[in-house]
Amino acid sequence: MSEAIVHTAASLPAREHLETLVADLLAEARVQGASAAEAAVSFSSALSVTVRMGEVETLEHHRQRGLGVTVYFGQSQGAASTADWRPEAIRDTVRSACAIARHTAADPCAGLADPDRLAREIPDLDLYHPWPLTAEEAIERARECEAAALTLDPRIRNSEGGSVTTHAGLMVYGNSHGFCGGYPTTRHSISCSVIAQDESGMQRNHWYSAARDRDELEPPAAVGRKAAERALRRLGSRRLGTRQTPVLFAPELARGLIGHGIAAIRGGALYRKASFLLDRLGTPVFPAFVTIRERPHLRKALGSAPFDSEGVATADRDVVSDGVLQGYVLDSYSARRLGMKTTGNAGGAHNLIVEPGPLGHAELLRQLDTGLWVTELLGHGVNGVTGDYSRGAAGFWVEKGEIQFPVHEITIAGNLNTMFKSIVAVGNDVDARGGIRCGSLLLERMTVAGE
């Protein structure tokens, strides 16, 4: 293995260099006649290693850079991008964007974000923690992770791999309102997926840890052991007969359930009238004990951002308060289409936190009493227009608050409107490994289709 293959996040270019490129793009847009313009320049470096059965399966080192510009001739818009940072490439890219704009119909909602919404102070959110990891060191950690899984129990018979990934990036955005801002970020992860086997058959499962700061990752061996434990407890899975039953979603799945609701209040879905939450602002969507807060300035958090992809300042707010929908997820364009103001969500929401309830996992199982604890979902059977929900699932059957046996090859179904209102408890077992932080969600009833 060549020692030359080293991921060093310290190799990110100087932010001043990217700021200069943004300024060059905006200046070239003015020269070519644009009445307004915005530009973004990005650079990223990543190392990813996967080890399977002790042998290196993949070793990838990525370095990517790019720039993009959007120009406006009045309210006609054109955009172009390239990975080439040379001056002549900048001129050609802007020329391409201008040519598109000149042949595009005017859109009264097109344009830059309103200048009074742009970030004037950019807080340091502590999002950059480089991990100068050599390929050899990454391989060693991936092997440690996988070995911890494979040696935990003789029933762990095979592996889909242990992986270590480290990523560092820098982005700078600017526009002709005079805004220019940027910041570096890092993201690191360790993961493992293994297969358990006994006389009942084979079952696979996985686990992962992700963080901005490598010191906040779970140890590789702990990730491997948890992946193995999760696979082992799936052995002996059975099917269920079709029934109506309470359902408890594990935190990592509950996060996705909330994500479907957030997708339904994004501006694009709303102005296209393609959302099951259309015209629901100010009305109850969840039970009164559910509150969902957006907290974009949490230090080190994976969803944090000081400004959105239009330069609009991000800010704390309640998206849902006491069950009532308080706000949408809007960028400037969708806000104008809806006759509203941007919420600082160009590019998505930032750190959505479902306020946890008082109950831990064991207490939630007792409240579930008899029903299904879902730990895995399969497929994508979610209709964002109607809210219809139908997905393959696996998990555990629970009786009198005690796990009885694992289940598989079932489908859970409902409608998200009904499902959200039927939430009876939010756990305090919060999963913080993504942009939505949520504990387990206990739903009063869903349809389980099986044998």
Provide the residue-wise pLDDT of the chain in tens; the chain has 451 residues.
Answer: 333 344 444 479 999 999 999 999 999 999 999 999 999 999 999 999 999 999 999 999 999 999 999 999 999 999 999 999 999 999 999 999 999 999 999 999 999 999 999 999 999 999 999 999 999 999 999 999 999 999 999 999 999 999 999 999 999 999 999 999 999 999 999 999 999 999 999 999 999 999 999 999 999 999 999 999 999 999 999 999 999 999 999 999 999 999 999 999 999 999 999 999 999 999 999 999 999 999 999 999 999 999 999 999 999 999 999 999 999 999 999 999 999 999 999 999 999 999 999 999 999 999 999 999 999 999 888 999 999 999 999 999 999 999 999 999 999 999 999 999 999 999 999 999 999 999 999 999 999 998 7
Max CA pair span of the chain: 73
Q: With beta carbons less than 8 A apart as the criterion, state whether 80 and 93 touch.
A: yes
Give the model's pLDDT for residue 4. 39
Give the model's pLDDT for residue 113. 98
Give the model's pLDDT for residue 451. 78
Cα distance between residue 297 and residue 302, in whole Å: 10
* Amino acid identity, position 186: T
Give the model's pLDDT for residue 2. 36
Among all chains, which residue has been given the structure tokens 């044998």?
A: 451
Superfamily of structural domain 6-232? PmbA/TldD superfamily (3.30.2290.10)
Domain extents for the chain?
Answer: 6-232, 243-256+356-449
Give the model's pLDDT for residue 80. 98
β-sheet bridge partners, residue 449 = 411
Can you give the C-alpha Rg of the chain in angstroms? 24
Cα distance between residue 422 and residue 401, in whole Å: 19
pTM: 0.93
335 burial type by CB count under 10 A (0-12 exposed, 13-18 middle, 19+ buried): buried
Give the model's pLDDT for residue 296. 98
